[in-house]
Structure formats: C-alpha cells, structure tokens
Amino acid sequence: MPDFLDTKKLLPNLGIGLGLRRELASQTLENRSKIDWLELVPENYMGLGGASRERLESARDQFPLVTHGINLSIGSTDDLNTEYLSKLKKLLDFIDAPWFSDHLCFTSLDGIYMHDLLPLPRSKEAINLIAEKVKRVQGTIGRPFLLENISYYMNVPGSEMNDSQFLAEVAEKADCGLLLDVNNVYVNSLNHEFDPFQYLDQIPLERTVQIHVAGHKQGADYVIDTHGSAVVEPVFELLQYVLERVDAKGVMLERDQNFPAFEEILAEVDKIRQISQAADQVRQAGSAPRAHSAVKTFERDRKASTIGRKEMAEVKHARVLSA
Ligand SMILES: [Fe+2]
C-alpha cells in the first residue's frame, strides 16, 4: 500500500454522517436526503442473518458505509485474531467500505474480551507492537485503516509520554490514518487538565480522515464520554478548529444512548454540516484559520451532577454494548 497520505488523497469525500444504531435505524434510513453516509459497528453484522442482515442490506443499498470496530484489540499483547479479521474483511468487501477504523486501546487479553476500551501504557514498546500489527491489519484487509483516540480515565503505569505524543508516534510509525474524536479530546482535556487545542496542534492532523462528534456527561469526579447527550459548544469549536486546518473525508455524529426525538439528531447533523461548509470556505480561500478560543469555556462545572466511579463504569459499559 502507498504512503497513507497519498492513499488519503484518493479517498471519497463522504460528507456528514451518523452512526447506524438499531434504535434509530428506521428513522435513519428514511432520512437519506439529510444524512450522507453511515458508520456501523462491524461486530453487530459479522456473519449474522435475520434483522441485522436486513438492516445492513437496506443501509448498503442507500448509503456509503464504513465500519468502526471494537474488538480488533490492536494494543493487546495477544496476536491478531485471524478469524475476526477474516469476518471483518468479508463485511468490508460486502459494503465496499472506503476505509475502516478501530480504537487505539486494547479490549482483550489472553483471548478474553472485556467489552471495554482500555487505555495502554504509552511506551516505545507499545508503539512498536501496534505499528507492526496495524501494518499486518492493513495488508490483510487491503483497505485504509484509521485509529481513533479514546477517552481515558487513568494514565497507565509504564507510560513514557503524553497521549498526543503517543497517538502521533503510533500513527507515523504505523503509517495509518486517524479517526479523530473531538469529544474525546475535550473530555480528556477536562479530566486530565490539558489544553485541547494544544493537543490538536501536537498530533499529525493531516492524517485525519474521519471525525467523531458526540456528547458527554459532566460529573463530580469525571467527565464521562457517554454519547448520550447533546453535543456541547466547545466540542463544536474543536471541530471547527480541525476542519479549518485539514480536509477530513467524513464527519459524523455518534449517539448511542438516551435517544432524543430524531429531529434533534438531525439538527445536530445539520449544525455539523454548517460548520464543515464554513471551514471548507476558510480552507479554499486560503484564509488564516482561527486561533485557539478562550480557555475559560473549558472549565469544568463540578456541581453539575454527582456521577461517581460506579455509575461511570455502568455508563461506559452501556455505551460499548449498545454501540
Ligand atoms: Fe468516537
């Protein structure tokens, strides 16, 4: 496969999309004129028949599709699961996905899958392991692969660098693309007290092919990446910041639980579209992109709710299982 940045130039511009979720599927499929493309969780469709297969076929007939997996477990010391890869390849061939993605994390150890996106020690050893596995994954699947920055709630012992350095080094060494989740950047910036714009400046943004936009829950101990609330303004600001600097090939809304009326989801999709169009104009005109916005909008409201560690675990599990 050629260098990833050359590959990226050949990828289609998908526009503004939405995650395909069972609970929203019928309304999603009825709104082709307002939603350009869909992302699906491959584990929900690999080798399955019945209602899942029918949903997949309806979606494929109407929309461009990409997958966003959970169980590749790219950071695990376990070897790649060849059976999983072969089922994933079959699905990607069936939907003719222009790219596919998974998370920069591990989800299994010693063959046991933990249904959670677990953070990695940010070490040179981990980078080498992941880069080698990413190259094998891209070689096996034969389509461009993107890694997503996850939300994390602890810094794993053994870490030798911060999250932006780790993401940057993995992407460069593996020569893969980025699925940049701007909500995860925002949530992490609050929980770990860093400047989210500086984070964006420190990663190879030009490798961004796809962007996730989502909502979160703000609590006393942590801000939790739930995908169960409306998107907040600072996350839209981060989206605009990125899109004024890079040509992403697809931006989408992730909504996985606590579903509102579908009109509210469509309104968020439309807002993402407006931001994307405004940013395109800035890039095409060659104007200077906006500088960092005021940091005060990123202060955490510790009184917002009383979510604690136990509830955080429940919310996170609900999200992964419903994805
Ligand atoms: Fe995401």
| CA of residue 183 to ligand 1 center, whole Å | 7
| CA of residue 112 to ligand 1 center, whole Å | 23
Closest by CA position to 182, among listed 165, 162, 199: 199
| CA of residue 225 to ligand 1 center, whole Å | 9
| CA of residue 151 to ligand 1 center, whole Å | 9
| Helix 124-141 vs helix 82-95: crossing angle, to nearest 10 | 50
| CA of residue 255 to ligand 1 center, whole Å | 10
| CA of residue 212 to ligand 1 center, whole Å | 5
Higher pLDDT, 121 or 94: 94
**pLDDT beyond 90 at 164:** yes
SS3 27: helix
Which segments within 149-226 are labelled E, that is strand?
Answer: 177-181, 208-214, 217-218, 223-224
Which residue has tokens 């050893």? 125
| CA of residue 221 to ligand 1 center, whole Å | 21
Higher pLDDT, 79 or 24: 24
| CA of residue 11 to ligand 1 center, whole Å | 20
**pLDDT beyond 80 at 131:** yes
| CA of residue 134 to ligand 1 center, whole Å | 19
User: What is the C-alpha separation between 104 and 109, in angstroms, rounded?
Assistant: 15
Closest by CA position to 171, among listed 239, 84, 252, 74: 74
User: What is the C-alpha separation between 305 and 221, in angstroms, rounded?
Assistant: 9
**pLDDT beyond 50 at 16:** yes
User: What is the C-alpha separation between 147 and 180, in angstroms, rounded?
Assistant: 8
| CA of residue 214 to ligand 1 center, whole Å | 7
User: What is the C-alpha separation between 65 and 99, in angstroms, rounded?
Assistant: 9
| CA of residue 171 to ligand 1 center, whole Å | 17
| CA of residue 117 to ligand 1 center, whole Å | 11
User: What is the C-alpha separation between 100 and 146, in angstroms, rounded?
Assistant: 6
**pLDDT beyond 60 at 268:** yes
Which residue has tokens 């950071």? 75
Distance of CA 190 to the CA centre of its chain: 18
Q: Per mean pLDDT, which range of 14-23, 24-33, 252-261, 286-295 is the poorest?
A: 286-295
| CA of residue 16 to ligand 1 center, whole Å | 15
| CA of residue 132 to ligand 1 center, whole Å | 23
User: What is the C-alpha separation between 278 and 266, in angstroms, rounded?
Assistant: 18
CB atoms within 10 A of CB 223: 23
Q: How confident is the model at residue 321 (pLDDT cuts 50, 70, 90)?
A: very low
Determine contact, residues 106/74, Cβ cutoff 8 Å: yes
**Summary mean pLDDT of the chain:** 89
Closest by CA position to 1, among listed 153, 150, 149, 175: 175
Copy the structure tokens of residue 96: 């003719």
Highest mean predicted confidence (pLDDT) among 103-117, 155-169, 203-217, 288-302: 203-217
| CA of residue 203 to ligand 1 center, whole Å | 17
| CA of residue 56 to ligand 1 center, whole Å | 21
| CA of residue 316 to ligand 1 center, whole Å | 13
List CB contacts of 208: < 8 A, sequence separation 6 or more: 177, 178, 179, 180, 242, 246, 248
Closest by CA position to 81, among listed 108, 103, 102: 108
| CA of residue 184 to ligand 1 center, whole Å | 7
Distance of CA 288 to the CA centre of its chain: 27
| CA of residue 123 to ligand 1 center, whole Å | 23
Taken in order of first residue, the domains within the chain and their CATH numbers are 4-322 (3.20.20.150)
73: exposed, middle or buried (Cβ count in 10 Å: 0-12, 13-18, 19+): buried
pLDDT tens-digit series, residues 269-319: 999 999 999 999 999 998 888 777 544 444 544 333 334 455 555 545 444
